Structure 1
């Protein structure tokens, strides 16, 4: 076995490539790792043209562009962003000169990453790092990683990041919202939310718009946003909802919901089209807690688009390994499986899963993406490294180039993160932190982030909504990872100029140069949802996000019927002057958290409700004007 770095010519020319300043909540360091243990190092090569991604997206997504709607093919995208031959050659030469023989170095078929069969000790010398074993206090899960690692200065431009290194587990992710009366709601991470609302003992009459302030159903949403349209070209269109095992819908609940709230008899018995990814499994007899999220998403996605439009359910991950957003992206884009090192064992579900009953395959490029994809899950941005979030965010940008609309919920804790955690000065997070804790992927500039509104008590469907301040608070704020995108620069800077925060600038990224979210909102309060044969009131951006997805799916139906392309990445359009009055502006309410009142809703865009809620007739008119 070769000993690496003692002969390396690069020891005196190293720079820190990635560093973790603290452990994620719940993890503790146990011991230094055994240096003789085998370790496969994955080196993610820097992609070409990523610096042009925003410009390229703008070219196919902005109404003023002559290329609006001229979306790219997957082959064109793969070619445009493939790492350069120079990057590949430079990294391979570095490994060779550091003592790694060629037989232990491999390169992916796509050319996006290099892997090295090595040992912990060799990697420690190669990266000037020290590896430790970590344990999660609650789950007992073990993890291999280091606190920081370094690279030769001339190699740094050719490598995005290396795994396993400083990244920590995010393989099982938390649904945003889903606050329901469960006694205690336990999400997939094991974190608990307190009881929220009681089981509904009585229901308003179906279609009764007088009590929408108290109980939201599809008819209320149609009235609020002017959605008086039934799809006519469903065979041309597609709409996807993403769920992560063990979250599972219950068909009998969907049927109960449809029998009460759908005007079409064919809605009863209608199932989503199941696309299983990496062993995605529906639990045969899911308990209440595991049914809430999936039931909510599907009942309202299917309830709004109606039975003429099929809804695809992307069910991701088997029951023992679980999955991450990265695993879902693998299935949409085979190149992403290998991109920048491929799946990270410390972040993503690793397949094939050799555990008993595990999924023995690996789904790479096996799934066609729907025109609109809605996801009601999210991380705290601080739980992930900037390199990891940049990796995924770029992939969402590529989906936008393909004409795919990607929606993510903005979170339910105002300016705080999941579990109400806020940041400390050192970047760690807990309930006692004081600094704002943005959500990811909501903070990615290449997704559309959806916040939540509510109706005031006794309000009618014709009255203005306000930011959701009952049970949950609409997630919103400013990213600590991503720069302010061109498309929202005017609106964000206008907000900051006219609205003075009620808290210290040190609590948030107050530079005025960071990605701001959400982009828009929809009602997220008092959703009547059938769960385990009963009716419950549910709150959250988990509810508002699939509703926005359904609205965009109806718009795509009209565009596709006229021979046009899908709306694709909508952000450059909705922030443009063409769409200036296409949203119901929300001017009241706040999103408190971290010991503050949070940001305030205001005329125009704000970091509570974004541009406002959709006006379906106006959005249709604007999008039908476009080619």
Structure 2
């Protein structure tokens, strides 16, 4: 049996797109689980039970990608013919026999595992000592030194292998990533990245100014109950519904906020209302007026980097709905180079889910970042000012070719309109082919 499914997989790999070819390179997929050693570490308790997560690659990524472009291209006869959840899951399924091979590898624990066809993630609860034996390594907790004095809900912690993990050779072309961090601690509060003063005498961010700048009719209000939208809330971000009511009273007098549907794996705490979540909820409801709005309050982080968002888990949750929101707006982004250094398999898994969102008829809008063409690289590497623009620094997942990347408009006071300014442009993507 193993020979037949391996043969079919080999045939499928013969015609890979540039993106797919990288996905199937095992040398860049498993390193993140055993790299990036933290300043503090301790051996994980052998008998503690942790979730081992095994990501499985689509059996035919190229076919999945072709279907996405066919449905998304107005010149194609299949344009707009979106798929049901079961159809999208079938198209992204692992290669024949791949799941059985993983079951056999897990052995006696395989019967307790759960496979999620929405995301191709296989999850099984195992004692740490059994995970270590399976992967031929030791599992350590890694924490940042500065956690002393920080509340438990804000502390950063990841579990990683202390050495290179061993994956059977026949599974290297099947498994996209490994992790024991489904929801690791490590929630980073977003601090203000800029000390710039507000422009336009405080009037630049009003809903009226947004409508005027982008040509949105003042009386444009959603009337179709089926029009739904969504924003995620990551890290320890929260919003306060009473703030939203106040926002509407000030900027849309006479109107009331739309129905808000709370989703996700974390509780929203109104008493901890913060900038990012509040801004997202207020402005998406203030522009897409009267549209039912989902707010996904997500726990955890990228399983390989406690500094980054759990994008895969969020996309998986959205796709699991029979009637998902039709517009997903994401204002978060990470450094593309960093993400692909620590977790390329995780990043490619999100690409698959973004394609599936498109196949389901979901429009995904992602912010290109607040740092222009240089991205976050200059901050991470402490690049001198004179060298900042010598190398582009694309942000991710806005660099993914399967979504719509959104830039920004800088509004200036009249006295500053003649000054030279660097535009808030998007950097060229580095881990995707440019067509």
Scaled to the shorter chain, the TM-score interval is 0.7 to 0.9
Q: Which deviations, in whole Å up to 9, do the C-alpha atoms of 1:228-254 show, x marking residues without a partner?
A: 252363323222233236433344544
Match of 1:144 in 2: 159
Q: For 1:103 and 1:300, how far apart are their aligned partners in 2?
A: 47
- Show the counterpart of 2:357: 399
CA distance in 2, matches of 1:411, 1:379: 8
Q: Quote how far apart the aligned CAs of 1:57 are.
A: 0.9
Give the alignment partner of residue 314 of structure 2, picking from 322, 328, 331: 328
The SS at the match of 2:333 is: strand
Taking the TM superposition and a 5 Å limit, the aligned residue runs for 1:58-207 are 58-93=69-104, 95=105, 101-102=107-108, 105-110=111-116, 112-115=120-123, 118-139=126-147, 140-146=155-161, 147-164=163-180, 172=187, 188=189, 191=191, 193=193, 195-197=195-197
In 1, are the aligned partners of 2:187 and 2:300 still within 8 Å (CA)?
no
Task: Note the C-alpha offset of 1:224.
Answer: 2.8
- Residue aligned with 1:242, SS: strand
**Number of aligned residues:** 385
Q: Secondary structure at the match of 1:314?
A: strand
Question: In structure 2, what is the equivalent of residue 23 of structure 1?
Answer: 36
Q: Return closer, same or farther for 1:78/1:104 CA change in 2, 3 Å cut-off.
A: closer
- Aligned partners of 1:168, 1:303: CA distance in 2, in Å? 32
Q: Which of 433, 438, 450 does residue 394 from structure 2 map onto?
A: 438
Match of 1:276 in 2: 263
Q: Does 1:49 align with 2:60?
A: yes
1:74 deviation in Å?
0.6
Structure-2 change in CA distance of 1:137 and 1:271 (3 Å): farther
Distance 2:399 2:199 in 1: 33
Point out 4+ residue stretches in structure 1 off by more than 6 angstroms.
318-323, 465-468
* CA distance in 2: counterparts of 1:298 and 1:105, whole angstroms: 42
Q: Do the aligned partners of residues 455 and 39 (structure 1) sit closer, same or farther apart at CA in structure 2, a change above 3 Å counting?
A: closer
Instruction: Report the CA distance between 1:203 and its aligned residue.
Output: 6.1
> Aligned runs of 1:194-593 on 2, under 5 Å?
195-197=195-197, 215-228=204-217, 230-231=220-221, 233-244=223-234, 246-262=236-252, 265-267=253-255, 269-283=256-270, 285-286=271-272, 290-306=273-289, 309-317=290-298, 324-334=310-320, 365=321, 368-381=323-336, 382-383=338-339, 384-418=342-376, 420-422=378-380, 436-458=392-414, 469=422, 474=424, 476-484=426-434, 489=435
Q: Secondary structure at the match of 1:391?
A: helix
The SS at the match of 2:99 is helix
Contact 2:231 2:328 (8 Å CA) reproduced: yes
Shift of 1:440: 1.6
**Larger-gyration structure (1/2):** 1
Give the SS at the match of 1:30: strand
Whole-angstrom CA distance in 2 between matches of 1:168 and 1:482: 28
User: Matches of 2:214 and 2:199 in 1, distance apart?
Assistant: 27
Q: Which runs of 5+ in 2 are unaligned?
A: 1-25, 148-154
**CA root-mean-square deviation:** 4.0
Does the 8 A contact of 1:251 with 1:271 survive in 2?
no
3-state SS of 1:482 partner: coil
Q: Does structure 1 retain, via aligned residues, the 8 Å contact 2:40–2:142?
A: yes
Please state which structure has a larger fraction of its residues in helix. 2
SS at match of 2:170: coil
Q: Distance in 2 between matches of 1:63 and 1:293?
A: 35
Structure 2 length as normaliser, TM-score?
0.74
1: distance between equivalents of 2:42 and 2:193?
33
Shift of 1:378: 2.0
Residue 313 and residue 44 in structure 1: after superposition, are their counterparts in 2 closer, same or farther (change >3 A)? closer
What SS does the aligned partner of 1:477 have?
coil
Q: Which runs of 5+ in 1 are unaligned?
A: 1-14, 174-187, 205-214, 335-364, 423-428, 490-627
Structure 2 CA distance for partners of 1:116 and 1:310, relative to 1, 3 Å: closer
Alpha-carbon shift at residue 32 of structure 1 (Å): 4.9
CA shift in 2, pair 1:23/1:232, >3 Å: closer
CA positional deviation for 1:417: 4.1
- 1:245, 1:282 within 8 Å by CA — same for their partners in 2? no
CA distance in 1, matches of 2:69, 2:54: 30
Residues in 2 aligned to 1:412 and 1:104: alpha-carbon distance in whole angstroms: 44
C-alpha distance in structure 2 between counterparts of 1:18 and 1:150, whole Å? 9
- The separation in 1 between residues aligned to 2:135 and 2:292, in whole angstroms, is 47
Residue 73 of structure 1: how far off its partner (Å): 0.7
How is 1:616-627 mapped onto 2 (pairs within 5 angstroms)? none
